[in-house]
């Protein structure tokens, strides 16, 4: 299978990142150090390096041309997103490229984002390079080494422990927007034990990063191998198992507005859910049917639901009783 030779793609609208203009750092073929079971690209043997790379000069020329055209049309993007048919941090001239792109910010208004599988974050040199981005998204499908080898099928000598340590180190250094993404695959990383291990690790990262956002989802495009997505109900259960202090968003590529988990909640279920985990407005729109949203508004009118602000986000939570408030 060959890929179209187009460095720039989009702009596209993303619920997570806004209006995004994409930059493909692997035009000729899939080049990755993982061979993930759920990958939407073709099966391929993983490698540690790119075999074919586009020059920095050519990429910069294409970026500037596209940004100038958008500016002339009075159109604005939120992020310039670096990705690849594979893993973008394998691009050998990434440091030179991001520094050159950052020099364009005086002329064009945008932030930079890189979508990485997290495989190279264990390298101190790569962590230093990634500090030049405004937003960094790293995948982490599991906190368990055996599961990591089953799902992500990394090339040797990649180690999950090194990746996790690298994420922790990077989260101490990076004071901008950090995203961690987990994709759940049926029977592989969707158990209670898997969620608990991820939960513990995410809490460690959160201690280091004030701008952390965690994205969780499941398979929504035809995968390279015979694996199955997690059901809607199970995704909701997984979502609620994470610690309520963690900033978690349910995501989907199929539907940019919301993740199709909407269901009918009884009044008691709404209250029990919000006791377990305060939900944002986007969470509510993603999870609740129209009838459930109406019930939520009625609970709010009756003083049983509070809206709390945390930074730019608003969270729906159950109002504490006088006894609970007095007990702190």
- Residues 256-282 have pLDDT tens digits of 444 445 667 788 878 877 876 777 777
Tell me what pLDDT residue 1 has.
Answer: 33
| 306: confidence class by pLDDT, cuts 50, 70, 90 | confident
Are 205 and 315 part of one and the same domain? no
Across 215-219, average pLDDT: 93
Are 186 and 307 part of one and the same domain? no
Position 151 in a domain: yes
**Residue numbers of the domain that contains 317:** 262-328
Q: Are 208 and 172 in contact (CB under 8 A)?
A: yes
Cα torsion angle, 157, 162, 167, 169, sign: negative
Position 148 in a domain: yes
Is the pLDDT assigned to residue 324 strictly greater than 50? no
Are 35 and 127 part of one and the same domain? yes
Structural domain count of the chain: 2
User: Which of 257, 276, 302 is the last residue in one of the domains?
Assistant: 257
Instruction: Please give the DSSP secondary-structure letter assigned to residue 246.
Output: S
Is the pLDDT assigned to residue 28 strictly greater than 90? no
Query: Which strand (E) or helix (H) includes residue 199?
Result: helix 192-208
Across 107-136, average pLDDT: 97
Are 253 and 269 part of one and the same domain? no
Give the span between the Cα atoms of 127 and 130, in whole angstroms.
Answer: 5
Are 272 and 126 part of one and the same domain? no
Are 269 and 194 part of one and the same domain? no
pLDDT tens digits for range 36-64: 999 988 888 999 999 999 999 999 999 99
Query: What global pTM score does this model have?
Result: 0.83
Beta-carbon contacts of 277 under 8 Å, excluding residues fewer than 6 positions away, are 239, 240, 242, 244
Are 136 and 241 part of one and the same domain? yes
Across 189-205, average pLDDT: 98
Across 170-199, average pLDDT: 97
């Amino acid at each position: 299978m060959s890929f179209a030779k187009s460095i720039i793609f989009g702009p596209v609208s993303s619920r997570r990142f806004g209006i995004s203009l994409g930059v493909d750092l692997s035009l000729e073929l899939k080049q990755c150090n993982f061979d993930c079971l759920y990958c939407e690209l073709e099966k391929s043997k993983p490698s540690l390096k790119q075999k074919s790379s586009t020059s920095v000069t050519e990429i910069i020329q294409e970026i500037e041309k596209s940004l100038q055209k958008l500016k002339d049309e009075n159109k604005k993007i939120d992020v310039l997103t670096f990705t690849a048919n594979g893993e973008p941090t394998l691009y050998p001239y990434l440091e030179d490229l991001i520094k050159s792109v950052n020099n364009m910010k005086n002329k064009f208004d945008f932030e930079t984002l890189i979508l990485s599988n997290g495989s190279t974050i264990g390298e101190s040199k790569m962590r230093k390079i990634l500090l030049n981005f405004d937003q960094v998204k790293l995948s982490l499908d599991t906190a368990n080494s055996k599961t990591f080898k089953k799902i992500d099928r990394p090339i040797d000598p990649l180690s999950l422990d090194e990746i996790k340590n690298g994420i922790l180190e990077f989260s101490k250094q990076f004071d901008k927007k950090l995203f961690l993404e987990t994709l759940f695959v049926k029977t592989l990383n969707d158990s209670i034990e898997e969620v608990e291990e991820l939960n513990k690790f995410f809490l460690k990262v959160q201690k280091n990063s004030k701008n952390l956002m965690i994205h969780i989802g499941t398979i929504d495009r035809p995968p390279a191998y015979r694996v199955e997505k997690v059901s809607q109900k199970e995704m909701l259960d997984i979502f609620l198992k994470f610690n309520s202090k963690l900033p978690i968003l349910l995501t989907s590529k199929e539907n940019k507005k919301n993740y199709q988990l909407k269901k009918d909640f009884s009044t008691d279920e709404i209250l029990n859910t919000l006791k377990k985990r305060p939900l944002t407005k986007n969470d509510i729109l993603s999870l609740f049917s129209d009838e459930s949203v109406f019930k939520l508004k009625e609970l709010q009118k009756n003083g049983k639901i509070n809206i709390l602000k945390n930074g730019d986000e608003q969270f729906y939570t159950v109002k504490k009783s006088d006894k609970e408030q007095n007990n702190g």
